[in-house]
Structure 1
Amino acid sequence: MAYIMAQSQIPSIQWFPGHMAKTRRLMKDSLRLVDVVVELIDARIPRASRNPELHAIIGNKPHLVLLNKADSADERVTAEWCAYFKKKGIVAIPTDCRSGKGLSQFTGAVEETLRELTERRRKKGMQGSPIRMMIVGIPNVGKSSLINRLCGTRRAKVEDRPGVTRGKQWVSLQNGMELLDMPGVLWPKFEDQAVAEHLAFVGSIKDDVLDIELLAVRLLELLARDYPQQLCERYKLEPGSLEGADGYTLLEAVGRKRGMLMPGGVVNTERAAIMLLDEFRGGVMGKVSLERP
């Protein structure tokens, strides 16, 4: 089945507020205070949601990966990503921090990652020292939800929009571990605009710097290519209607099915785009992964 992809791409997306530059410096300065870095990434876009500067920043510091929002991702693809990280010697766990799914493995994963450090401390008689970890991730990836789950209480403010956590916070856990939460941080320039698109799809870039309709058009093209059945079922589209359709035609079809019409029967595509992105970000469109290893 062939699809006509949009010829025009999302205009170049660059978004690096001043507080993010400050966070990067803060992260570097705080590394000496922690034993391990816990990196949250979005299971739907594991490549795009990894800060490419992180490896250079943390150096040889032990770290593990949580593939968050896994309940909204394609399980088969997530398993491929876990195998990918394992080959690189990194423990990776699929999680859903809002529901707590997968977090029962968290403590064990931290202990496995720090096995050598723990043994050195044991030999020095320091086995009572608390394990300190830094929580890092891009905006809107679920850091606050993770901390609240691990603490068993709402210790961190949770909102489904980027830029809520502003300063570093130390949080003590019942198992004796301590967490250092960091504000979400992107990187200064997106060399690959496909990365910027994927981040925009999941809400990690503020919508007010984006062309919402063009973003929805691009998302529809990807869904029509990779998850046509889910797209048709969600918006009651005929499978044959996807054949040869470009993203804007699909956006009009979705808006028409949802009754988003203006005078004269014209589809309100802006309203349809906002609805589409909200539903995708909320996970109600089914299990979708936009990237593979």
Structure 2
Amino acid sequence: MAIQWFPGHMTSARKKAEETMEFTDIVIEVLDARIPEASHNPMIEDLRLFRQRPSLKILNKADLADPAATQDWLNHFNRQEGIKAVALSCKKPGDANKIPGLCRALTPHRGTHLKPLRMLIMGIPNVGKSTLMNALLNRRIAKVGDEPAVTKSQQRFELSPQLSITDTPGLMWPKIKYESDGYMLAASHAIGRNAVIDEEVAEFLAAILLERYPALLNARYKTDVSNMDAVDLLEAVAKRRGYLLKGGEFDMEKTAMAFLVDYRSGTLGRISLETPASRADMIERIAIAMAEPVTNDNENPEQAVK
């Protein structure tokens, strides 16, 4: 199932961001540290490159991500021209306070009374932009919620006479190129539940965790997962927690939601769903599959290489 989610207000939000970019000195792009590339909106890159603006990439929720994978992503991004990447948790005020200094380093010609530094925060829904704004301003000015697309309009604030910052609504792009990106975004709660089927997202997540983090699953669910597939794991969770329907069948909807919450909250442990290497491998496999004849015209190239 291809996951797409593009609420109506995002069209106007993109247009407004394009207009604001002209009067911006640096783009602060907030990413989810567990899925840094999947949570990167290519439209943001297009807008900033058109205006030739540098980018501070914040790998937020780093406290939930696998530290080794996060370091690989930092190395990957920091090799790119005009980009500085840092990993932090916007819930920690000390982390947020580092951001103005990092922006000044990327824009040494700005940040004076005559030329104030104008920062623009961008990112997809539910990656922590509003939490970051509240931490930077040391007061609650941005609404924070567990559902994506809470912020609906731009807000501009003065941090000092030399610094201003503009917050923007979470911005998705109209068509997600890779199916796995859609599932990773849904698993990490960047896509509204009305666009996904929780059981399918949970199965996708379970398959990744069985491959990469079996020890965390063993510890959390107190069961040997070594010979399980995704469905087996979810059924084991349902059985252990007593998630049953009338007649004794497993309540897979409730199980899927509980499993996703365990991942999203960090209860399972520090997890990353992609690394630079795994992403490069995924893209290569899809390219090979698309170059080969496909027997079923309706088959998704990405499904064919899983």
Give the superposition deviation at 1:203.
0.4
Percent identical residues: 37
| Aligned-residue CA RMSD (Å) | 1.6
- Match for residue 87 of structure 2? 94
> After the TM superposition, which segments of 4 or more aligned residues of structure 1 sit over 6 Å from their partners?
none
**With CA pairs under 8 Å and 6+ residues apart, which has the higher RCO, 1 or 2?**
1
Counterpart amino acid of 2:121?
I
For residues 201-238 of structure 1, the C-alpha deviation after alignment (integer angstroms, 9 at most, x for no partner) is 10011112211111111111100100000011111112
- Does the 8 Å CA contact 1:34/1:134 hold for their aligned counterparts? yes
Counterpart amino acid of 2:104?
E
Give the superposition deviation at 1:29.
0.7
- Does the 8 Å CA contact 1:95/1:101 hold for their aligned counterparts? no
Which aligned pairs between 1:95-134 and structure 2 lie closer than 5 A? 95-100=88-93, 102-115=95-108, 117-118=109-110, 128-134=114-120
- Match for residue 75 of structure 2? 83
Provide the rounded CA distance (Å) in 2 between the counterparts of 1:269 and 1:48: 26
Provide the rounded CA distance (Å) in 1 between the counterparts of 2:63 and 2:249: 36
- Match for residue 5 of structure 2? 15
- Does the 8 Å CA contact 2:30/2:121 hold for their aligned counterparts? yes
For residues 132-180 of structure 1, the C-alpha deviation after alignment (integer angstroms, 9 at most, x for no partner) is 1110000001000000000011111100111110010002225742111
Question: In 2 relative to 1, CA 220–101 (structure 1 residues): closer, same or farther, beyond 3 Å?
Answer: farther
- Match for residue 192 of structure 1? 178
- Match for residue 210 of structure 1? 196
- Match for residue 284 of structure 1? 267
Give 5+ residue unaligned stretches, structure 1.
1-10
Provide the rounded CA distance (Å) in 2 between the counterparts of 1:150 and 1:191: 34
Give the superposition deviation at 1:55.
1.8
SS in 2 for 1:67: strand
- Does the 8 Å CA contact 1:242/1:250 hold for their aligned counterparts? no
Give the superposition deviation at 1:101.
5.4
Q: TM-score, normalised by structure 1?
A: 0.89
SS in 2 for 1:40: strand
Query: Structure 1 residue 40 and structure 2 residue 30: aligned?
Result: yes
Provide the rounded CA distance (Å) in 2 between the counterparts of 1:178 and 1:53: 23
Give the superposition deviation at 1:17.
1.6
Query: Alignment length, in residue pairs?
Result: 273
Provide the rounded CA distance (Å) in 1 between the counterparts of 2:97 and 2:198: 38
- Match for residue 242 of structure 1? 226
Provide the rounded CA distance (Å) in 2 between the counterparts of 1:104 and 1:181: 16
- Match for residue 133 of structure 2? 147
For residues 22-44 of structure 1, the C-alpha deviation after alignment (integer angstroms, 9 at most, x for no partner) is 11111111112211110000000
Give 5+ residue unaligned stretches, structure 2.
277-306
Provide the rounded CA distance (Å) in 2 between the counterparts of 1:108 and 1:100: 14
- Does the 8 Å CA contact 1:72/1:287 hold for their aligned counterparts? yes
- Does the 8 Å CA contact 1:40/1:141 hold for their aligned counterparts? yes
Provide the rounded CA distance (Å) in 1 between the counterparts of 2:25 and 2:88: 22
Q: TM-score, normalised by structure 2?
A: 0.85
